[in-house]
Structure 1
Amino acid sequence: MATEARTLTLRPLTREAFAPFGDVLDLRGDPPRPMNGEKALRYHALGSASVAGDEARVVISMVVSKPVSGLVEVAMVERHPLGSQAFMPLGEGRLLVIVCPDEDGRPGQPQAFVAASGQGVNYHADVWHGVLAPIDKRQSYLIVDRDGLGNNLQEHFFDAPWLIQLPGSGLDLDGAAKS
């Protein structure tokens, strides 16, 4: 029996709205600290990595991801119970961010955010989230997450997909709500 798709509302990614799921990695928050003889600015502790399990370690990786556009279908989410997972864009472009509250070990209703150009996310350990989905153009990301023994990936496939319409979403290119 096929179930009809449902619609999600897309909203700007803010530190406050995303706090239950992780950290927004954004240079527009706290003021930077000068370093290296004031030749550089450090945006300190935008998020924190966490790992658990046998022989666990924090690793830094890079990924190049294909874009999404138009009507996006969210049929699956995943989580990583043994560590956090951060994605920081290495170029200009927006990112579709899908997260779900946990409801007795299963994902609850998804929430959809649009990360403005230059924003990244750090999902806390055990947070249900969608797959990497840059908007409109291919994007490269720096990833900080866990490597080690143990099963650190759980996937959940929804009975019916959730749909998000990207064009005409009521958000401008920086992720701010249009007035």
Structure 2
Amino acid sequence: MATLSIEPLTKQAFSPFGEVIEADGAIPLSINQGFARRFNDLAYIDVAAEGGQTNISWFVASLRPAPIAIRLMERHPLGSQLFMPLNGADWLVVVCSDPRDAASYRAFAATGQQGVNYARNCWHHPLLVLKDASSFLVVDRKGDGNNLEECWLDETMRLALMPDYHEA
């Protein structure tokens, strides 16, 4: 099984796949009599295809055994999908432009202060966490239509990630 190297998550590196959600570089608005800061327009939520509506969910993800085997990729043809960690733990993002082309895969190390918004039709691996019971706020599409495509990889296409687990 080939190993996929992990690179830092940056807006520039991730741009072919969607958006990185972070306050870094954003100009906050002072609200609530100066006791809070608001960071606007951090992502484009794309869910309106075929009458879709915005769905806000809470996910709690479990730690996978290392090395992490990349066996399945998925995409959502009718809408974007945003993941924002709630517990401040680092996590991993795996994307590709073609699940049958190993050279198109990228793996990113996201900090606990970074989220991602996968663009419509972006192939990505299901949620990968580095701390057990990691909570995420998820914003995606609900409604009619088939908004999930899965691609199971055969033995020759599987990739492995070797994360450095740092359980707190």
Q: Shared fold (TM-score greater than 0.5)?
A: yes
Which residue pairs with 1:26 in the alignment? 22
Which residue pairs with 2:120 in the alignment? 125
DSSP-derived class of the 1:37 partner: helix
CA contact (8 A) 1:91 1:118 kept: no
Would the alpha carbon gap of residues 134 and 65 (structure 1) be closer, same or farther in structure 2, given more than 3 Å must change?
same
Deviation larger for 23-32 or 138-147: 23-32
Tell me how far apart the structure 1 counterparts of residues 164 and 55 of structure 2 sit (CA, whole Å): 35
Which residue pairs with 2:79 in the alignment? 83
CA offsets 1:117-162 (integer angstroms, 9 cap, x no match) = 2111100000000010111332011110000111000001122310
DSSP-derived class of the 1:28 partner: coil
Would the alpha carbon gap of residues 15 and 107 (structure 1) be closer, same or farther in structure 2, given more than 3 Å must change?
farther
Which residue pairs with 1:176 in the alignment? none
DSSP-derived class of the 1:54 partner: helix
CA contact (8 A) 1:107 1:128 kept: no
State which of 76, 86, 96 in structure 2 corresponds to 1:100: 96
Counterpart residue identity of residue 20, structure 2: V
DSSP-derived class of the 2:12 partner: helix
Identical columns (%): 38
Which residue pairs with 1:164 in the alignment? 161
Which residue pairs with 2:2 in the alignment? 6
Tell me how far apart the structure 2 counterparts of residues 60 and 166 of structure 1 sit (CA, whole Å): 29
Gaps of 5+ in 2: none
* Bigger proportion of residues as helix: 2
Counterpart residue identity of residue 157, structure 1: W
Q: Does 1:57 align with 2:53?
A: yes
CA offsets 1:44-88 (integer angstroms, 9 cap, x no match) = 111110024333101111111102353111011000000000011
Counterpart residue identity of residue 7, structure 1: T
Which residue pairs with 2:142 in the alignment? 147
CA contact (8 A) 1:69 1:136 kept: no
Tell me how far apart the structure 2 counterparts of residues 11 and 87 of structure 1 sit (CA, whole Å): 18
Would the alpha carbon gap of residues 107 and 99 (structure 1) be closer, same or farther in structure 2, given more than 3 Å must change?
farther
Which residue pairs with 2:105 in the alignment? 110
Tell me how far apart the structure 2 counterparts of residues 92 and 69 of structure 1 sit (CA, whole Å): 21
CA contact (8 A) 1:22 1:123 kept: yes
**Shift of residue 167, structure 1, vs aligned partner:** 2.3
Tell me how far apart the structure 1 counterparts of residues 64 and 72 of structure 2 sit (CA, whole Å): 15
